[in-house]
Structure 1
Amino acid sequence: MKTAAAQAQQQRCFSSRLQDTNLAYLKSSQGNISGKPSCQVGFPLLEHFSMMAFTGAIDALVTANPLSSRPLYRFKTLGLDGPAVASDLGINISVDTSLASQMIGELDMLIVCGGFRSNLQPTAKLLHRLRQIAAQQVTLGGLWNGSYILARAGLLDGYQCTIHPENRAGLEICPRVRPPLPYVVDRNRISCAGHDAGSESPFVY
């Protein structure tokens, strides 16, 4: 009779003949990407941010990681005030650190995640911090209406962008807005109009 440990060990073993089918692709691609450092992505979460947009973006990054022998993307959640941020679902998400204390040199990309009820009147402190980060050539982006915060900081001047339909009227400060599109990638600026766009992997480029 098999012991419980032996049964558990057997359950953890793959028996499918398809178990190694991804290895051929992985081995052929390792020469191109396995030696590159992981892209570090920070997600500042506005109060009442869209949980669906945020998790869609995270899923795109996490799903890309198995394509390499080492993680292609790593991410951090960043708060503006306090150790947790309330989502649009009323679920509090604990953040890894604050945007103010995050080391800029550790970031390759910063994606501001907003939502339908997020406050779009950014503080002078937030705008100043975003400008500091932009000055270090970090790729910037916005989810849902996060683009509006970047526009208020003057960080979308000369860039094309998009925003959630509910906030189109308020983005006249960014004359090159392209609201019909679900997402826009313009050089080192990325914007997504809603939860569906976040899952379409505009950050994985």
Structure 2
Amino acid sequence: MASPTPRCFTFLLLDRFTMLPFAATLDALRLANKLSGKPLYEWRLVGTAGPFATCSNGSRMAVDAGVDDDIAATRDEVVVVCGGDAITTQGTRPVLAWLRRQARSGATMAAVCTGAHLLAKAGLLDGRRATIHWENHDSFAETFPDVALHRQVFVDDGARLTAGGGTSSIDMMLHLIGQTHERDLVSQIADQMLHTAIRTGRDHQRLSVATRIGIRHPRLAAIVTRIEANLENPISPPELAADAGISTRQLERLFMRYLDRSPKRYYLEARLGRARHLLLLTDLPLIEIAVACGFSSSSHFSKCYRERYGSSPHRERGVQKAAVVAMPARPDPVLALAS
């Protein structure tokens, strides 16, 4: 049943939040009000530092309050954590305390893009199901083993909702709106957003392997899918071939013809790709990253990494951290206009 009073949404805009999932989430609420002719929803924006929140594209958004202000959510409220770049640096003590305070009030806690990282860091996803943007999936799984992580576009675990980012935020919001309002309103919102295929919590984030690698060979796609699912414990080419019902020679020919590399090389590049994500998106020690990606030692991992990317893991991580620290502050537009 719809509430006779507007339901409030509080958006926590983290530094360098991504614009698309935030805008999609907010606009779904705006359209619900417009199409119903009633104020079904209201919202406010909360920042982490100062009167503006900076988006990953450089835009700045004026906020209504900060995490240091005395804001307490109500039981019927939804708090949406909007994440983006450099999410591992956003979990400051004031931000985590603010999130825990809102959760204790009984509010539904939601997150879009990488916002689930902060919900997990605050301990609000322990023992629960969740999702995060596919690019951060591996690093999240390594950092928060107590969270049941899924690869769906969004996950509804009662008082916790998470969406992977991008347009998945639309699907999460249509699902949430549909819990208390007529299906016809949900369809009208989707039409207005030109969202012609409403996805459910069972739909996956990424394109199929066949689409991503640009092939339509079902047997090769199945082999690549198995490779991606077994990066920590690599499977030998003879075993891959045997399980696919072909010879090792046929396996080699398939990979060379369609992917221009041997199965062994493809497997190595996939493992190094995952390692690079973990290296840049987590603070895990190199040896843990090496083991998580199927390397027997950190020295072997470093050697392969240097050959692939032209830089050692130590150096690349150092350059990444230096770039984040050295990011210049953007001028305050109000002060700029005043001068």
Length-normalised TM-score, structure 1: 0.77
Aligned partner of 2:165 in structure 1 is 194
Amino acid at match of 1:125: P
Higher share of residues assigned helix = 2
Shift of 1:176: 0.5
Aligned partner of 1:181 in structure 2 is 152
The correspondence of residues 79-98 of structure 1 with structure 2, limited to 5 A, is: 79-98=47-66
Shift of 1:86: 0.9
Cα-to-partner distance string for 1:4-61 (whole Å, 9 max, x where unaligned): xxxxxxxxxxxxxxxxxxxxxxxxxxxx64x611111001101110101100101111
Higher share of residues assigned strand = 1
In 2, Cα distance between equivalents of 1:37 and 1:44: 22
Q: How many residues align?
A: 172
The correspondence of residues 119-198 of structure 1 with structure 2, limited to 5 A, is: 119-172=88-141, 173=144, 174-178=146-150, 180-198=151-169
Aligned partner of 1:29 in structure 2 is none
Shift of 1:103: 2.3
Residue 22 of structure 2: which of 24, 39, 54 is its match?
54
Shift of 1:169: 1.8
Equivalent residues of 1:144, 1:164 under 8 A apart = yes
In 2, Cα distance between equivalents of 1:116 and 1:166: 11
Amino acid at match of 1:175: V
1:74 correspondence with 2:46? no
Secondary structure class of the residue paired with 2:161: strand
Secondary structure class of the residue paired with 1:199: helix
Shift of 1:121: 4.3
Equivalent residues of 1:49, 1:117 under 8 A apart = no
The correspondence of residues 21-60 of structure 1 with structure 2, limited to 5 A, is: 33=2, 36-60=4-28
Equivalent residues of 1:53, 1:196 under 8 A apart = yes
Shift of 1:102: 4.8
Equivalent residues of 1:47, 1:119 under 8 A apart = no
Gap regions ≥5 residues in structure 2: 180-339
Shift of 1:96: 1.1
Equivalent residues of 2:82, 2:111 under 8 A apart = yes
In 2, Cα distance between equivalents of 1:105 and 1:185: 20
Gap change, CA 1:105 and 1:146, over 3 Å in 2 = closer
Equivalent residues of 2:7, 2:41 under 8 A apart = yes
Gap change, CA 1:105 and 1:43, over 3 Å in 2 = closer
